[in-house]
């Protein structure tokens, strides 16, 4: 074979098998609550901050609590460190009610959209994030209707009309119930991007222990979904991959009295123990000598195991975040978001995302 032809074939093969270059800069999005030390936030490491939370009143209008204006002013001040930083008000969260009523009619949607836009303008924000958990589902006592499926889309359309060029995003799930009760294949058209909550796959509600934020399904619990399953469901709905943002957890979940001596995952337990900020995991658990760090290669996820007291902790750490960042780049997704900043005040995990995803 002539050398020129061989070289051309080699070049063509390499181009065909190499991953496509990113068509965008990756987002690094922090959910920030008022308890965070806001002035210390490494703004230069972030592209977006979602302030948590605003709420929906019984009258169907968005509102914020008395301490929020000061927090939002502090967040806006971070733009002196990073002028490109975008600040959004996240409305909702677990247990937040009255979304269903606000979305019910054209008049109620218009009222809600006007109130959201007024808050964004009053506090000089860059947009809004809607964290409705969840349309058409009961949640912790929240109102819900079958009509939420269509009304959620119409609510987002009204918000887009009022917000104009400002950012509009949502926090989403990837479970079957969430997709059955939303029009994800349609509503993404009104959104700049979608923050997929790929965590809490196991917790106090689970019958068995397990990873709460694995990238892939674990060989120990192959029937339990993982982050890649949720992302795949978004992709199959036709959502552009650059709009899909992978969620990671800056906290862990712990169980005690696990019925195991060697392998503690997917095992019965006596009681759920506690939610653990990453800073506590690093300063208490990893330094105690009681816990041994383990790595589940199938799930690309770490866990801690104290065989003496039979405690197990599921969490994200630098290694698992590097795996997730590589996954984001491999698929050409929109970036990574995390819940939430006060769990990692020294920004050890944020530093990993910054190193792996910033150009």
3-state secondary structure of 72: helix
Sheet holding 301-306, edge to edge: 271-277, 251-256, 311-314, 301-306, 292-296
CA–CA separation, 296 and 321 (whole Å) = 14
Catalytic residues: 133
Return the number of other C-beta atoms located less than 10 Å from residue 245's C-beta: 26
Q: For the chain, how many helices (H) and strands (E)?
A: 11, 14
Residue with tokens 């065909």: 16
Q: Are 337 and 248 in contact (CB under 8 A)?
A: yes
3-state secondary structure of 97: coil
Q: Are 281 and 252 in contact (CB under 8 A)?
A: yes
- Non-local CB neighbours of 112 within 8 Å, separated by 6+ positions: 56, 60, 61, 62, 102, 103, 155, 158, 159
CA–CA separation, 295 and 204 (whole Å) = 22
What are the percentages of helix, strand and coil residues in the chain, rounded to 5? 35, 20, 40
∠ at Cα 247 (122, 21), nearest 5°?
100
- Inter-axis angle of helices 106-122 and 148-163, nearest 10: 40
């Amino acid at each position: 074979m002539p050398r020129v032809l061989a070289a051309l074939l080699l070049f063509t093969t390499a181009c065909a098998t190499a991953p496509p270059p990113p068509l965008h800069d990756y987002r690094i999005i922090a959910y920030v609550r008022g308890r965070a030390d806001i002035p210390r936030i490494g703004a230069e490491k972030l592209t977006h901050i979602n302030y948590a939370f605003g709420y929906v009143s019984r009258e169907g209008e968005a509102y914020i609590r008395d301490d929020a204006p000061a927090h939002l002013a502090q967040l806006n001040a971070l733009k002196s460190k990073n002028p490109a930083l975008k600040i959004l008000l996240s409305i909702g969260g677990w247990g937040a009610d009255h979304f269903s009523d606000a979305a019910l009619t054209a008049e109620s949607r218009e009222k809600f959209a006007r109130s959201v836009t007024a808050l964004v303008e009053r506090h000089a924000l860059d947009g809004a994030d809607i964290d409705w958990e969840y349309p058409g589902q009961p949640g912790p006592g929240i109102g819900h209707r079958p009509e939420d499926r269509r009304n959620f889309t119409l609510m987002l359309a009204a918000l887009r009309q009022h917000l104009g060029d400002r950012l509009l995003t949502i926090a989403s799930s990837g479970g079957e119930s969430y997709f059955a009760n939303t029009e994800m294949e349609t509503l993404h058209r009104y959104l700049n991007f979608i923050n997929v909550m790929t965590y809490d796959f196991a917790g106090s509600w689970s019958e068995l222990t397990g990873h709460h934020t694995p990238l892939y399904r674990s060989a120990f619990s192959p029937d339990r979904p993982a982050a890649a399953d949720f992302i795949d469901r978004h992709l199959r709905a036709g959502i552009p991959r650059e709009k899909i943002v992978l969620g990671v957890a800056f906290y862990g979940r712990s169980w005690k009295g696990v019925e195991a001596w060697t392998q503690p995952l997917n095992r019965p337990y006596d009681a759920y123990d506690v939610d653990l900020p990453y800073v506590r995991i690093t300063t208490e658990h990893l330094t105690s000598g009681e816990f041994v760090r383990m790595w589940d290669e199938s799930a690309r996820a770490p866990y801690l195991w104290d065989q003496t007291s039979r405690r197990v902790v599921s969490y994200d750490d630098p290694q698992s975040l590097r795996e997730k960042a590589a996954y984001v780049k491999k698929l050409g997704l929109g970036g990574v978001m995390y819940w939430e900043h006060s769990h990692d005040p020294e920004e050890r995990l944020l530093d990993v995302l910054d190193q792996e995803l910033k150009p």
